[in-house]
Amino acid sequence: MVDKRKKREQKDKKRREALRKAKAAVPRLTEPQVQQAIANSHKALMANDPGRAETILMKVQKTNPDHHQVLANLASALERQDRIDDAIAVARRCAAAHPDLAESHNNLGATLKFKGLLDEARASFQRATQLDPGNSSAWRNLTSVKRYEDPNDADLEAMRAQLDKLTAKDPRRIELEFACGKALDDLGRTAEAFGHYDRGNKQKRIGIPFRLDKLTQTFDLLVEHLGADYAAGGTASGVSQASPILVVGMPRSGTTLVEQILASHPDVEGVGEVRDLFETIESFTPKPDEFPVTVSQLSAEAHAVHGRSYLAKLKGRAPSAKRIVDKFLFNYIHIGFLLRALPNAKIINCMREPMDNCFACFKVHFTSSVMFAYDQKDLGGMYQQYRRVMDHWHATFPNRVLDLNYEDLVEDQEVQSRRLLDHCGLDWHDDVLRFHETERRVNTASATQVRKPIYKTSIAKWRAYAEHLGPLREALGPYAPSATR
């Protein structure tokens, strides 16, 4: 018996040695070859094809296992496929292989933050700033997970010192201005905080081609072509009976909180902010700015076909989910199309006091494409257009959209949660009241907030900055608070 075991062990040892030699025999890729693979993976990520990016990077892994950018892109590819634990494992490996590289710790922190591991994320961001005090992204990330309570905090002084070193046009100033603004906001030093927010926004706005007048023209077409006659077109006999849940609204209006509450229900899975509906419509729209005209000309059968296409994309993201939440905020533009293509879809429009909503946007350096957030007049004008479109859908498709107010949700979480689940056709479940305990990926500006129980400190936050927000108040027009409010 002992001899048999020894022979088996010797056999296993030889097999392992042969495998080691076989791996060693595979030639490492040259740096230009690796860089080409990285570039190809980046293209795949930009094309919203993280699976393709993963395939490219895994091949490189076989010969160049510890390359920093390969591991960084691989973690991103895994994270975008909602494989957050795998992404964290790769990011940890990268930080371990490159302990003196600030970006490896910054990337690890970002991945941990998505998972809700905020203490570990804070430590990773802190390490990144220590290794590279000029890493503006790491400073912005650190301030997002840290509350500043000491006016002499060394981090605040370090950020200001970095700002002093940079030229006026250095793009790193943008993130540092927002980071300093957040720290000073925590400390209640509103005048100084606003100065940083204002400078960061103005520099950011320079490179953004946002035109409110052009967007308004598109919304004019929407109101003209997607009204009562369009709604009367009905649905095809073969239309899908599926019931996805769409959460829409302005950024910073409570949409992440609402998605987190829904995703805490055992029958629901949230897939975050995905462009699946936009891409479905773009696939048959030759002129994106004139999509309302194209959509208005679709037959009922064509609506059904495109509805199934959109649904297939969603299901591909959450194959085993009974119900799926799509939280791409700007889907509110396509509510009319959706209600004809998938008549059982449920839509939640998240609303928040306009000044609070817009000022909350003004304080954030968004990593996603929110082009109107960096100017008070743009913000107020965009808010007016958003409300105009939502009023149109309410009139065109009565009782199909639930307006959920952030302030009401904060005031009475259970009552509003029951309204929410009832609208979506979901049975009550107590887990939705413990949304902050739900483990799932959250990669929006509200990633830290939804890891806490409901709190009221964000209500009327704009009032402390009222003297600086005159342009916003004016741009909000009829939605601005009156002098007595």
Sort residue 215 into left (φ over 0), alpha (ψ -120 to 50) or beta: alpha
Could you give the CA distance from residue 382 to residue 372 in angstroms, rounded to a whole number? 7
Q: What angle do CA 348, 354, 360 make, to 5 degrees?
A: 90
Q: Which is nearest to 143 in space by CA: 181, 193, 106?
A: 181
Token reading at 80: 């975008």
- Other Cβ atoms within 10 Å of 114 Cβ, number: 21
pLDDT at 223: 98
Q: Give the DSSP H/E element, type plus range, for residue 130.
A: helix 118-131
pLDDT at 8: 67
pLDDT at 81: 85
pLDDT at residue 246 tops 70: yes
Structure confidence by residue, pLDDT tens digits, 381-421: 999 999 999 999 999 999 999 999 999 999 999 999 999 99
Q: What is the DSSP string of 167-224?
A: -TT-THHHHHHHHHHHHHHHTT-HHHHHHHHHHHHHHHHHT----HHHHHHHHHHHHH
Could you give the CA distance from residue 314 to residue 326 in angstroms, rounded to a whole number? 8
- Here the contacts of 201-205 (C-beta below 8 Å, separation 24 or greater) are 201/362, 201/373, 201/374, 201/375, 202/374, 202/375, 203/169, 203/171, 203/173, 203/174, 203/177, 204/174, 204/365, 204/374, 205/374, 205/375, 205/378
Domains annotated for the chain, with CATH where assigned, are 212-479 (3.40.50.300)
Asked which of 42-46, 266-270, 358-362, 455-459 is least confident by mean pLDDT, the reply is 455-459
Token reading at 447: 């990633």
Beta bridge partners of 179: none
Instruction: Identify the band that residue 28 occupies on the pLDDT scale cut at 50, 70 and 90.
Output: confident
Asked which of 61-65, 157-161, 294-298 is least confident by mean pLDDT, the reply is 61-65
CA 154 vs CA 138, 164, 183: distances in Å: 15, 15, 11
Q: Which is nearest to 361 in space by CA: 205, 170, 135?
A: 205
- Other Cβ atoms within 10 Å of 70 Cβ, number: 25
Asked which of 59-68, 143-152, 291-300 is least confident by mean pLDDT, the reply is 59-68
Segment 174-181 mean pLDDT = 97
Segment 93-108 mean pLDDT = 96
Instruction: Identify the band that residue 32 occupies on the pLDDT scale cut at 50, 70 and 90.
Output: confident
pLDDT at 438: 63
Instruction: Identify the band that residue 457 occupies on the pLDDT scale cut at 50, 70 and 90.
Output: confident
Q: What pTM, to 2 d.p., does this model score?
A: 0.87
Could you give the CA distance from residue 246 to residue 273 in angstroms, rounded to a whole number? 10
Cβ–Cβ under 8 Å, residues 358 and 380 = yes
pLDDT at 48: 78
pLDDT at 447: 47
Token reading at 210: 């946002």
Beta-sheet strand order (sheet of 401-405): 268-270, 323-326, 245-249, 346-351, 401-405
Structure confidence by residue, pLDDT tens digits, 318-361: 999 999 999 999 999 999 999 999 999 999 999 999 999 999 99
Q: What is the mean pLDDT of the chain?
A: 91
pLDDT at residue 5 tops 90: no
CA 80 vs CA 323, 342, 442, 445, 485: distances in Å: 20, 26, 11, 16, 43
Q: Is 12 helix (H, G, I), strand (E, B) or coil?
A: helix
Q: Is 270 helix (H, G, I), strand (E, B) or coil?
A: strand
Token reading at 239: 């239309």
More confident residue, 90 or 24: 90
Torsional sign, CA 439, 443, 448, 450:
negative
Instruction: Identify the band that residue 483 occupies on the pLDDT scale cut at 50, 70 and 90.
Output: low
Q: What angle do CA 368, 448, 311 make, to 5 degrees?
A: 50
pLDDT at residue 36 tops 60: yes
- Residue 252, φ and ψ in degrees, nearest 5: 65, 30
- Residue 268, φ and ψ in degrees, nearest 5: -125, 140
pLDDT at 413: 92
CA 382 vs CA 253, 376, 425, 479: distances in Å: 14, 10, 32, 12
Structure confidence by residue, pLDDT tens digits, 182-207: 999 999 999 999 999 999 999 999 98
Q: Which is nearest to 373 in space by CA: 384, 382, 383, 362?
A: 362
